Structure 1
Amino acid sequence: MNLPTVKQLRYFVALESHEHFGKAAEACFVSQSAFSTAIRELEATLEVQLVDRTNKNVTVTHIGRQIAAEARRCLRDIENLVELARSNHAPLTGELRIGVIPTIAPFLLPNILPPLRIQFPQLRLYLNEDITQRIYEKLMDGELDLIILALPYALRSVEVMPLFPDKFLLACREDTQHTRPRRYMFDSLAPESILLLEDGHCLRDHTLSACHLQDMDKISRFTASSLLTLVQMVDSDLGITYLPEMVKGSTLLAGTKVKIWPLPEESYREIGLAWRRGSARETEFTQLGEFIRTTWQTLLATV
């Protein structure tokens, strides 16, 4: 009996997710011609049509959807096999694939990666930066080993290790027309004076919840697609915003007149590490979490 290869299964899972040969091939770091050949070989091996092809669209067939679901389960089982084998190696050696969200990666990683490389020189890190939902999906599909995210966030079938709280700070120009930074009061803000990230970024939801922004009339209908854009909007005094404490000391505010102040009430999001439940590398992942926590606490004490 001819059996599909792991590579073919990975490629087809990517195609089912993207529904586009070019995008799926790019996600798998392979040429589109090689990708298409692998999918045709998989169809020949299984003796079934997995996708309907037209000039512009790719439609996964009904049986293709079912096979993609089974392929994901097969890939997870293979990942578990590899993890079991690695559990006999020295901890934090070899390859480790970590997903990190954009509101954490530029601020946390530059501070923890240099000491991590010194402490664990045989560890090879592969990083993927994306929004929470997508790195969670990649974790569950076996494309990532770990994810670093902000909590709370609804997750299933994972183990979560809280690392440290990340306070929210008021961010605005010192001469802003929207508030008096040193005497900030939420109730005194005018309508549409608070700028936030657009829907889809968990930082928006965490800001609304942690900072108790219940009066939605004060939230601007204009949103930003990234923290950099948000800071530029605040620098133009289009409004005020709230930034996580980890931006302190970074280059995010460089070249602007935006400053940050503590809020009257302590508000924060929790930074956490997550991995698939039942992973054979749980002890190793916990060790990494402890390293990140200790390194960050040491850094905060010196800032």
Structure 2
Amino acid sequence: MSFPPTLKQLRYLVALHRTNHFGKAADASHVTQSTLSAGLQELESLLGTQLVERTKRSVMFTALGEEVVRRAQVILNDVDDLTDMASAAKDPLKGIVRLGIIPTIAPFLLPRIMPAIHERLPDLELHLREDKSAELCELVRSGELDLVLFALPYACGDVAEMPLFHDPFMVAYPHGQAPGERINTTDLDESRLMLLEEGHCLRDHALEACQLVGRGARREMAGTSLGTIIQMVAAGHGITLLPGMAVEAGLADKARVDIVSFKDMIPTRTIGLIWRKTNPRAATFETLGNVIKDVMHHHG
């Protein structure tokens, strides 16, 4: 090989793999489509092999193309980490942090932690993205996000995890139907239990937390958001498990539901941060995590 691939060519390839569309990949790379295509053709002739099959309607990567993308991603992450390392060394608590956060945490936790983060880390600029766990996991691994605020444990590959606090589950009953102010986990009527659709990790945590691993929970009633599910409970369609932080944030205040806590084993989900193990800004993320921890512990 006469000379190695350029980082630009690798970025084009990874962008194409992510968007699966030449036009979108070019937009994401801030170049014209012809520049992107030319860059990819140069890469293919450099490597002496075809990486992408181009048809009218779709973009298909060859087996080797997939492998090149995987390695290119590692190389690009390393290069980004190199530049991050230099800026982090200059001032670790300055700059942009791209934080992913899941929908069953974001609206309830952000109003509580953002003021403290602004006050204690004034030079840190948080860019937030809300999405489901699987998407955020992919984005942190591909280097598009720095870290994710998650319910742990979540299998996201080789990442660093920082548990922050526990969030206890509570049960919502239609108004007037609660069996008491506090119940045992064994009192839960699984046939009436409605949980979020698959893909919202709250569902997995709730099932695991109450040791109901899919035994009786009703799938056909799966709502798309906690707000929707509470309305369904209020209308008498069943019962649901709510994260304590959602109850504290007033999610159920206006609905005709009764909130009951557990008295035996209190099921919880652990809220924590994850980031790529190789990310040189780990110390920054830990500082951010400690601010969140402080707010929640003093609050709790």
TM-score tier (shorter): 0.7 to 0.9
For residues 152-208 of structure 1, the C-alpha deviation after alignment (integer angstroms, 9 at most, x for no partner) is: 2223321111100000011122224xx524364555555620000111121111111
Q: 1:93-172 maps to which residues of 2 (within 5 A)?
A: 93-172=94-173
1:45 matched to 2:47: no
Contact 1:191 1:220 in 2 (8 A): no
Residues 95, 124 of structure 2: 8 Å contact kept? yes
**8 Å Cα contact 2:13-2:40 kept in structure 1:** no
Cα distance, 1:60–1:213 mapped onto 2, change above 3 Å: same
TM-score normalised by L of structure 2: 0.86
SS at match of 1:228: helix
Per-residue deviation at 1:50?
3.8
Gaps of 5+ in 1: none
Provide, for residues 252-286 of structure 1, a one-character-per-residue CA deviation record: whole Å limited to 9, x for no partner: 33542134221122110111111111432222211
1:22 CA drift (Å): 6.3
> 3-state DSSP class of the match of 1:17?
helix
Query: Equivalents in 2 of 1:100, 1:173: separation in Å?
Result: 30
Identical residues among aligned pairs (%):
38
What amino acid sits opposite 1:89 in the alignment? K
> Which residue is equivalent to 2:193?
194
- By how many angstroms is 1:148 displaced? 0.9
1:285 maps to amino acid:
F
The Cα offsets for residues 225-262 of structure 1, whole Å up to 9 and x where unpaired, read as 22222222212221001111111343533542134221
CA distance in 1, matches of 2:73, 2:214: 43
1:173 aligns with 2:174: yes
RMSD, aligned α-carbons: 2.6
Superposed, 1:59-74 pairs within 5 Å as 59-74=60-75
Q: In the superposition, relative to structure 1, how do residues 39 and 50 fare at CA in structure 2: closer, same or farther (>3 Å)?
A: farther
Question: Paired residue for 1:258?
Answer: 257
Amino acid in structure 1 at the alignment position of 2:117: L
SS of the aligned residue for 2:220 comes to: strand
More divergent stretch after superposition (213-222 vs 81-90): 213-222
Aligned residues: 293
Are the equivalent residues in 1 in contact too, given 2:171–2:241 (CA < 8 A)?
yes
How far apart are residue 54 of structure 1 and its match? 3.3
Classify 1:25/1:263 alpha carbon distance in 2 versus 1 (closer, same or farther; 3 Å).
Answer: farther
Q: What letter is aligned with 2:209?
A: A
- How far off is 1:78 after superposition? 0.8
SS state at 2:249 partner: coil
One-letter identity of the residue aligned with 1:53: R
Matched, 1:267 2:264: no
Distance of aligned partners of 1:24 and 1:174 in 2 relative to their CA distance in 1, 3 Å threshold: farther
| Cα gap change, 1:109 to 1:130, in 2 (>3 Å) | same
**CA separation in 1, counterparts of 2:122 and 2:129?**
20
* Length-normalised TM-score, structure 1: 0.85
Distance change in 2, residues 1:239/1:89 (3 Å): same
Secondary structure of 1:149 counterpart: strand
> CA 1:67 to 1:208, structure 2 compared with 1: closer, same or farther past 3 Å?
same
1:207 counterpart residue number: 206
Q: Distance in 1 between matches of 2:214 and 2:65?
A: 47
* C-alpha distance in 1 between matches for 2:21 and 2:117: 37
Distance in 2 (CA, whole Å) between partners of 1:248 and 1:183 is 15
**Residues 233, 239 of structure 2: 8 Å contact kept:** yes
